[in-house]
Amino acid sequence: MKLIPEWYEHQYCLIAWPCNKDLYGKVIKKARDEVANVVNEIAKNEHVIILSNKEDINEIQNKTDNKNIDIVECKLDDSWMRDIAPIFYYEDKKLKSINFEFNGYGKYPDYFNDNKISKFISNYLNIPTKSSDLVIEGGAITYDDKNNLFSTKSVIFNKNRKQKHSSEYIIKELKLLFDLNHIFLFENGLKGDDTDGHVDNLLCPIGKNKYLIAITHKADPNYERLEKNKADLINFFNATSQTFDLIEIPLPTRKKINNKNIISSYINFYFSKNKIILPKFNVKEDTEVKIIFEKLFPNREIMMLQTENINYGGGNIHCITMNVPKI
């Protein structure tokens, strides 16, 4: 059983249409427009499957137009596909999946429909699947091609996840499930992150022993924890005798929408076929980060899309997407 890194070829991209009006409030129309832009961009090269509540299907049809887009009706509570989709892996020359438990990050009461989405997707795609009673969101884990998995203690061990097992059991179970060599856990994610600190704002393996890691300047409230994250990760790689190259990706300048602090990171991007789709924040770091990505991925188009209203809801491009690997 092997996890499949995100930069490997995709069969589909899964996206859930924004529906939580309590969360988005007045910006939900703008957020939907931004999601539609992400869908239309990915669909130029990948088959996109949009999950949606029945009442939103007409709107999706009006905002998207591509033969590579399928709309599937289901019941949704929210739109964070990365967290509610199954985790895909490779076993016996087949694509399979695991359905973890989802509990609305331990803080939102309406999650019962979203907790069923993982099984729904596995059945819809006719992928052999099994279930785990661990509470694990897809945005809470990332993994490379060397049997390493990365997460944050502030998420998977958080009391609000109401895990049925000890931290030791969780680590052991994840290693067994995915045949891992190592699991590395950051202490914390970004301050104010509504997920309690998902790793997909902190770190992204990109292959060839390279890892993108979020950093910031001394005046930023995340400076100390991100410096600690970097030091701890370096110590982990050295202790396990692994070759590594950390590429520092600055956080964007902090912004507010409707007097709400927006928790943002360029690490929260999507690998598409021949493309990298990055969030754009209309701040000075946009240009710097695009240049970094162009040097790292000379054979991929680097596309930046406006996503501040998606971000207002608590996530970004990586959070609203889930790649289904192609075997």
pLDDT given for residue 259 in this prediction? 87
Q: Supply the Cα-derived Rg of the chain in whole angstroms.
A: 18
Q: What integer pLDDT is reported at residue 235 of this predicted model? A: 98
> What pLDDT shows up at residue 252?
97
**Coil vs helix vs strand at 233:** helix
User: Where does the chain show beta strands of DSSP type E?
Assistant: 2-3, 10-16, 48-52, 69-73, 87-91, 94-101, 129-135, 142-143, 148-152, 182-186, 203-207, 210-215, 245-250, 255-257, 260-262, 270-272, 275-280, 301-306, 321-325
Return the residue matching tokens 């005046």.
219
**Does the pLDDT at position 310 exceed 90?**
yes
Distance CA 136, CA 300 (A): 31
Q: What is the pLDDT of residues 210-246, one digit of tens each?
A: 999 999 999 999 999 999 999 999 999 999 999 999 9
Distance separating alpha carbons of residues 99 and 137, to the nearest angstrom: 10
Share of the chain above pLDDT 70, in %: 100
What pLDDT, on the 0 to 100 scale, is given for residue 1?
59
**Which of 275, 12, 246, 255 lies closest to 124, judged by CA?**
12
176 and 170 Cβ atoms separated by less than 8 Å: no
Task: Provide the pLDDT confidence category of residue 165 given band limits of 50, 70 and 90.
Answer: very high
CA nearest neighbour of 309 among 260, 255, 257: 257
pLDDT at 185 over 90: yes
123-138 tens-digit pLDDT: 999 999 999 999 999 9
Exposed e or buried b for every residue in 75-100, given b needs 16+ CB within 10 A?
ebbbbbbbbbbbbbbeeeeebbbbbb
Q: Report the residue count for the chain.
A: 327
- The CATH number of whichever domain residue 274 belongs to comes to 3.75.10.10
* pLDDT tens per residue, range 34-72: 999 999 999 999 999 999 999 999 999 999 988 999 999
The tally of domains found in the chain comes to 1
User: From CA 147, how far away is CA 160, in angstroms rounded?
Assistant: 28
Model confidence pLDDT, tens digit, residues 267-305: 999 999 899 999 999 999 999 999 999 999 999 999 999
pLDDT beyond 70 at 170: yes
Q: Are 304 and 63 in contact (CB under 8 A)?
A: no
Candidates 30, 31, 72, 77; CA nearest to 54 is 72
Q: What is the mean pLDDT of residues 87-110?
A: 96
d(CA 201, CA 177) in angstroms, rounded, equals 24
Average confidence score pLDDT of the chain: 96
Domain that holds residue 194: 2-325
Q: Look-up: residue for tokens 């980060």?
A: 289
Q: What is the mean pLDDT of residues 311-319?
A: 96
Classify strands 148-152 and 182-186 as parallel, antiparallel or unpaired. Answer: parallel
Q: What percent of the chain has pLDDT over 90?
A: 96
